[in-house]
């Protein structure tokens, strides 16, 4: 450990939100991150939900090395070969009629491009998003994010409306308990229809609301979103930043549930740790957007190196059968979490799909009062014991662990993580009982 370097981190870096560890970190490989004291920490968050195939997978390292020998960056008007190869691979995976891709760097950008395209093609500007949603921190994506961090930054992009999210465990309109009957959607759409300026453009949704607490779509919900958009002349945009490329045990949430959006935004899970995102649409919509003068060029649009990494990620998922593994390992992890639920009253619900799971912590199961203190102390205790966890703590949305290890995680690593969770919950409850 270098105390001077730790001090420099505190002295020189802008604090950018969220929980920050006191340690610095040196390396990452597979499911393990190593800190500046040499401690190995099991990663149950895939970095920032990005390391789909594990940290520093050899296929990604090889792709980057080859890019260093060929090209890292080009003028935006020059389309590199790796970009086209990635577009071809994506077309093979995507549900029809989605097949046209624009490659950028982050999820915020892919959502910006999607909303920009929807507004241009429809001629409207109004956007509907779900409560608990997180689509980014840039202009339009931030305006359509309702999970947190909306206050203090001045006026948002105009025309944004919120739908109550379909959280049957913690119903935002206090109507359902444990089984959503889509009343939240009906009420939200009715409110939009009253407030609209008759300029609808898009409804943007995460198929699984991740940052909002791993909220699963109830039966028929995504189909109802599709119908609502068609009835209002709006485009349906799926933000599949965290659900695409195998994490749910399917190529995309759109294919898992059989609902195809007009535009799909993908990001985190495509780059495997490298900044890469894409906005994807149909021939028809792309043609209309182009005819209307669609532009979205940035300094790093269609860069070759990230595209090469993305292609390596997709090929590795195919070669190592990681979509099937997400299903089996996800079921294994869920069984372990449900065993802990039987042991601890504080675990109110285990939910999710594949290797994207949520664990909601409560003070008791009847009132379902969020147990924010337990979430805080146990997450810290997990790190002390060698497990990196992500806790989502919002007063109105509960205290939820969002668990998403790399698709390459082994059963032994899952057992190790579950054992640490068990110990951390026991220690945390004991600590709180003493205070």
Q: Could you give the CA distance from residue 168 to residue 350 in angstroms, rounded to a whole number?
A: 13
Between CA 260 and CA 371 the distance in angstroms is 37
The residues carrying an active-site annotation are: 134, 206, 239, 242, 268, 402
Question: Which helix (H) or strand (E) element contains residue 235?
Answer: strand 235-239
Terminal Cα-to-Cα distance of the chain (whole angstroms): 33
Give the integer Cα–Cα distance in Å for 261 and 334.
29
User: Could you tell me if 183 and 173 are in contact, meaning their C-beta atoms sit under 8 angstroms apart?
Assistant: yes
Laid out side by side, the sheet with 398-403 consists of: 347-353, 356-361, 398-403, 390-394
279 forms beta bridges with 102, 265
* C-alpha–C-alpha distance, residues 115 and 264, integer Å: 10
Nearest to 203 by CA among 193, 211, 213, 194: 193
**What are the beta bridge partners of residue 310?**
none
Q: Which residues of 409-424 are buried (b: 16+ CB within 10 A; e: fewer)?
A: beeebbebbbebbebb
Segment (H or E) for 28: strand 25-29
Query: 126-130 and 98-104 as β-strands: parallel, antiparallel, unpaired?
Result: unpaired
Q: Which helix (H) or strand (E) holds 98?
A: strand 98-104
């Amino acid at each position: 450990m270098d105390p001077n370097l730790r001090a420099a981190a505190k002295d020189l870096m802008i604090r950018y939100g969220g929980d920050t560890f006191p340690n610095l970190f040196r390396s990452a490989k597979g499911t393990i991150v190593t800190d500046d004291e040499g401690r190995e920490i099991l990663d149950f968050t895939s970095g920032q939900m990005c390391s789909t195939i594990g940290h520093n997978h050899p296929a990604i390292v090889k792709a980057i090395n080859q890019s260093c020998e060929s090209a890292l960056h080009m003028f935006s008007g020059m389309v590199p070969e790796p970009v086209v190869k990635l577009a071809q691979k994506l077309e093979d995976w995507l549900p029809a009629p989605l097949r046209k891709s624009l490659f950028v760097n982050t999820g915020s950008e892919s959502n910006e491009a999607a909303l920009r395209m929807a507004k241009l093609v429809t001629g409207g500007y109004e956007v509907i998003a779900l409560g608990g949603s997180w689509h980014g921190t840039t202009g339009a994506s931030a305006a359509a994010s309702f999970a947190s961090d909306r206050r203090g930054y001045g006026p948002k992009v105009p025309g944004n409306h919120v739908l109550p999210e379909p959280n049957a465990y913690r119903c935002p309109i206090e109507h359902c308990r444990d089984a959503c009957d889509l009343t939240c959607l009906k009420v939200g759409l009715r409110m939009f229809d009253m407030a609209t300026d008759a300029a609808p453009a898009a409804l943007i949704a995460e198929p699984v609301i991740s940052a909002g607490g791993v909220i699963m779509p109830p039966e028929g919900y995504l189909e109802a979103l599709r119908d609502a958009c068609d009835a209002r002349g709006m485009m349906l945009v799926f933000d599949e930043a965290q659900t695409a490329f195998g994490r749910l045990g399917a190529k995309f949430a759109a294919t898992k549930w059989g609902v195809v959006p007009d535009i799909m935004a993908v990001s985190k899970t495509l780059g495997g740790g490298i900044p890469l995102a894409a906005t994807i649409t149909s021939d028809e919509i792309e043609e209309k957007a182009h005819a209307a003068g669609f532009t979205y060029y940035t300094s790093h649009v269609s860069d070759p190196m990230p595209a090469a990494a993305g292609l390596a990620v997709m090929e590795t998922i195919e070669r190592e059968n990681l979509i099937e593994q997400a299903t089996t390992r996800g079921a294994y992890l869920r069984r372990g979490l449900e065993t802990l639920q039987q042991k601890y009253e504080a675990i109110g619900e285990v939910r999710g799909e594949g290797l994207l799971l949520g664990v909601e912590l409560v003070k008791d199961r009847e009132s379902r009062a969020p147990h924010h203190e337990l979430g805080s102390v146990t997450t810290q205790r997990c790190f002390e014991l060698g497990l990196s966890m992500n806790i989502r703590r919002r007063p109105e949305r509960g205290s939820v662990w969002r668990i998403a290890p790399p698709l390459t995680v082994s059963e032994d690593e899952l057992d190790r993580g579950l054992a640490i969770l068990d110990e951390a919950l026991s220690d945390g409850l004991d600590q709180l009982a003493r205070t």
